[in-house]
Amino acid sequence: MKSPLDTRRAGVLLHITSLPGGGGDFGQQAYNFVDYLHDSGVTVWQTLPLGMPHGDGSPYQCLSAHAGNPAFINIKWLVDQGWLHIVEQHEPHDALSKHRLLGQSFADFQSLASQQDQQLFTRFCEDKAGWLNDFALFLALRQELKHSCWNQWPDSLKNKEPAAINKALLRLNSEVEQIKYQQFVFFRQWMALKAYAKERNVLLFGDIPIFVSYDSADVWSNRAVFKLDKSGEMSVVAGVPPDYFSATGQRWGNPHYDWEYLEKTGFQWWLDRIKTQDELFDIVRIDHFRGLESAWEIPASEETAINGQWVPAPGKELLQAIANECRSIALVAEDLGIITAEVDALRNNFNLPGMKILHFAFDGNGGNAYLPHNHIQNSVVYTGTHDNDTTLGWFNTLNDHEKHRVYEYLGFSQTAMPFTLVGVALASVANLAIIPMQDILELGSDDRMNVPGTSEGNWAWSFEWDQLTQEQVGRFTQLIRLFGR
């Protein structure tokens, strides 16, 4: 089977929360965006992870490795299905209103939905039971216990003692069923959007964080998968040492995997996780791919990521298991940061494309792997990612000497930033070129998505259609055609 990554393509990076209209969901604006991509000649839409985040909004720290974010559910769709009767004239965008209407929708669904739709819900719950049952109870308990982390719950619930779990299932039955219904609706809406995108020749490109949040259904219900002590606490946490983004490194605080246990169980937990992403997306990026070769372990007592050590991981065995079990999946390796020959060998062994970031290219070293003349076909080139500044913002922070170096390499192009760099990305030999929507809109630093190492003010950026000019549309479309994407 030919991989979608073997064809020369252009893509756009935009998370669901960044869609126009406030809030961001799977409603009409998502379909409008697919239409915009199709009309521009773009065949890939890359998003960030679609999971349910914690209070900081980071899609890289979610409550489940499988469950989708109910905030992405479109209310009008429920009304159109006949699963919700409302009198409001406008769709709600605040979380409380949406939560209330989702609760009302479940009640309406139970009394008004067709027998066929109710059977589809039952079948969904059966098909997803491997993760859905634990997630639904976890979330219901978390809500009941004032959103405290599971390690602060009463011991009987923390340790999943059968008697306590059975009582909780009886006590919270309606909440548990409501949570399952939300996941049913999430998957129905996303798969409908995916089918529409396929009709418009647009592939969906997802992102799987290598680590999961400690405060998640996955860790609560699968403690043996992770490096935890007998009481469920972490002695080591994940992160990365000092790098381009941070002088003290990044202390993510995620639990590390007990790879010995995972190998004994045939990596089943990981395989189940990959299968969910394979259902949702056409292409999946493994975030922090180098952690599959070795990962940075930081003592939990350390406040920064400086004092850690690299600990090997059985990446070859895991990727082989994925290749055997999920033959159709198209994976991309996020190979940024401190990359060794061993990490490159692991990626190459499975023919996975790596990433080329143009913002990192112009350090004056002609051998820099991110410079376009060093690119290879089996790679994905970006101007920048969600973790970088926008291209205009990045360029404006350079001094005059650095700006001259960039334009010297580019042959003193008469095109202004950011479209100069957009053109360079699209001209690259890399099979896939991804452009953040901010660069198409020619936006500056105020419109970046995330600043790594910070926990406030991120993940909130969105655009409006009136920001997109006909000149920008025409220029981007012309470049895609010019460079055969």
- Catalytic residue numbers read 287, 334, 387
Tokens at 100, concatenated: 């209330």
Which H/E stretch holds residue 401? helix 400-409
In the sheet with 309-312, reading across from the earlier edge strand, the strands are 250-255, 236-240, 294-299, 309-312
Nearest 5°: phi and psi at 429? -75, -10
Q: Long-range contact list for 384-387, CB < 8 A, 24+ apart?
A: 384/357, 384/358, 384/359, 384/436, 384/439, 385/13, 385/336, 385/355, 385/357, 385/436, 386/13, 386/15, 386/48, 386/436, 386/449, 386/450, 387/245, 387/449, 387/450, 387/452
Tokens at 373, concatenated: 């003349």
Which H/E stretch holds residue 280? helix 268-280
Q: Where are the beta strands (DSSP E) in 342-403?
A: 354-357, 379-382
Please state, in angstroms and rounded to a whole number, the distance separating the CA atoms of residues 65 and 456. 23
Tally Cβ neighbours within 10 Å of residue 466: 7
Please state, in angstroms and rounded to a whole number, the distance separating the CA atoms of residues 41 and 20. 21
Please state, in angstroms and rounded to a whole number, the distance separating the CA atoms of residues 148 and 136. 16
Residues with Cβ within 8 Å of 225's Cβ and at least 6 positions away in sequence, in order, are 218, 219, 257, 258, 261, 262, 269
444 torsion bin: left (phi>0), alpha (psi -120 to 50), beta (else): beta
One-letter amino acid of 156: S
CA dihedral 39, 42, 44, 49 (to 10 degrees): -70
* β-strand partners of 11: 44, 434
Cα 255 to the center of its chain, rounded Å:
18
Is the peptide bond preceding residue 418 cis, with omega within 30 degrees of 0?
yes
What DSSP assignment string belongs to 96-123?
HHHHHHHHHHHHHHHHHS-HHHHHHHHH
